[in-house]
Every structure is written in structure tokens, then in C-alpha cells.
Amino acid sequence: DIVMTQSPDSQAVSLGERATINCKSSQSVFFSSNNKNCLAWYQQKPGQPPKLLIYWASIRESGVPDRFSGSGSGTDFTLTINNLQAEDVAVYYCQQYYTTPQFGQGTKVEIK
Amino acid sequence: EVQLVESGGGLVQPGRSLRLSCTTSGFKFGDYAVSWVRQAPGKGLEWVAFIRSKVYGDIREYAASVKGRFIISRDDSKSTAYLQMNSLKIEDTAVYYCTRDPHPHCSGTSCPHDHWGQGTLVTVSS
């Protein structure tokens, strides 16, 4: 199984500042059939189901604010939240779907 | 509006069985794969199983932790997916979510999840 490791486990960021979450996979999730990386990011707010933010590592899901962006390739990926808003307080998960899906352990983003 | 509604959760003793249902609306169910993802109390997300659409071969995959005990199925005429859970263990206690998985976003093996239900709680305890 591919192991997904996120860092940090939690992060406190001031309103309007940038949050950066890293995700590392134990092997490459690059899908040669379409030259894309099989990596998704989800946001989960307390008491709610997760919400898809990003897929193919960098494509924003419809309706997701453009302050959320994904980058990276191969085994190293980043979710960046620019201009952090109060409503962005949540746990964020990365997931690889190159093989049977595996999630990272989650990163909690709070307001400093 | 896309909707997925899980049902069938509850309290069950170890070793017993339970069947979860995921009733959907607002989209053409037969065109999508479906997954079940669970979340133990206070813990992270764990993918459990998925089933591709019949056009993509009705392929089913399971997490190692449930393989041989859980069975995923679908009834496209009812726009509903199921998760039959047998030989339940205490560690199966979790909120179980069903998800819609769009085939155009899938790799050769699996998919991201673009819509989620609200989940149903399964508690395995004696």
C-alpha cells in the first residue's frame, strides 16, 4: 500500500495569512496515461462530511475559492490556502487514488 | 441537486451483520462509481470499498481491513448502493460515508470522491 504522510499535524495561521500543508506519498502517484498525478485534497469541517477541494493534484473542484491551490508531482504535494478566512478552519486530508485509495492522517488548520 | 443519503447504521454486537444503504438522487447514478469511506470517532478517513459502474466493468475493490467480510453492491434501477458488513469487529465502529466517484477523474484503479453523504454511524459493541 502507498502510505500518505502529511505535515504538519496542525497549524495555527493568522487571518489573511497563508497556510501550507504538505503531503508525501511513499511511492509516485504519477499516472502516465494522462500525465497527471492521482492526488486529491479534502476539507472537513466539524460535524460535516469531507468536501473535495482539489483533484489531479492541482485542479480546483467547481465552486472552490481560488485562494485554495494544489501543487506538486510524483511523491511531494502541497495545498496552499492564501488569505486565510475564518471559514477555512478545518481538517485537511490528502488522498492518493493511483492505487486503492489512501488518505493522509489529516492536518488541522486553526486561527492564530 | 446531487444528494446521497446513507441509512442502516446502528448498534450491533461483534460477529453480527449489518447492511448499509446509500440512496442517491440528482444525477445519473449508473454513470458513476461509488465508494464507502469510514471515520472512526475522533480519527481520520479510511477508504473501505468501491464499485465501478457497469459500463466500466462493475469492478469492486476492498480495503485489506474489510476484504472477505464486506461486500459492496449497487442497484442502478434504484439509484442505490449497498455495503453488506459481516463478521463485524469492534474496530469497525465508525461513521460510514458513501461517495460519488466520477469516472473521468479516475486513474486506472480508483477515483477521488466529488460528493459525500452525511454518513451513518455504526457501533459494534457487546
Instruction: Tell whether A41 lies on the interface with B, counting CB pairs under 8 A.
Output: no
- pLDDT confidence band for B56 (50 / 70 / 90): confident
Residue of A95, A102, A105 lying closest to B112 (CB–CB):
A95
Q: For cell 461509488, what's the residue?
A: B34
- From residue A6, alpha-carbon distances to A24, A26, A67, A107 in Å are 6, 11, 20, 7
The confidence score (pLDDT) of residue A48 equals 97
Instruction: Tell whether A30 lies on the interface with B, counting CB pairs under 8 A.
Output: no
Residue of B nearest to A50 (CA): B116
- pLDDT confidence band for A49 (50 / 70 / 90): very high
Mean pLDDT value of segment B49-69: 94
Residue A32: CB atoms within 10 A of its CB come to: 8
Residue of A44, A100, A105 lying closest to B47 (CB–CB):
A100
CB contact under 8 A, B110 and A31: no
- pLDDT confidence band for B36 (50 / 70 / 90): very high
Mean pLDDT value of segment B110-121: 96
The confidence score (pLDDT) of residue A15 equals 98
Residue of B nearest to A55 (CA): B112
Does the structure show a pLDDT above 90 at B108? no
DSSP reduced 3-state for B14: coil
The confidence score (pLDDT) of residue A6 equals 98
* Residues of chain A contacting B63 with CB distance shorter than 8 Å: 100
| Nearest Cα to Cα of residue B116 among B8, B51, B22, B10 | B22
Instruction: Tell whether A93 lies on the interface with B, counting CB pairs under 8 A.
Output: yes
Residue of B nearest to A37 (CA): B107
At A60-97, the pLDDT tens digits run: 999 999 999 999 999 999 999 999 999 999 999 999 99
CB contact under 8 A, B109 and A51: no
Mean pLDDT value of segment B5-19: 98
DSSP state, B92? Answer: G
Q: In what order do the strands lie in the sheet with B18-25?
A: B3-7, B18-25, B80-85, B70-75
Query: B44 has which bridge partners?
Result: none
Does the structure show a pLDDT above 90 at B104? no
The confidence score (pLDDT) of residue B46 equals 98
CB contact under 8 A, A103 and B61: no
* Residues of chain A contacting B112 with CB distance shorter than 8 Å: 40, 52, 55, 95, 97
- pLDDT confidence band for B107 (50 / 70 / 90): confident
At A1-23, the pLDDT tens digits run: 899 999 999 999 999 999 999 99
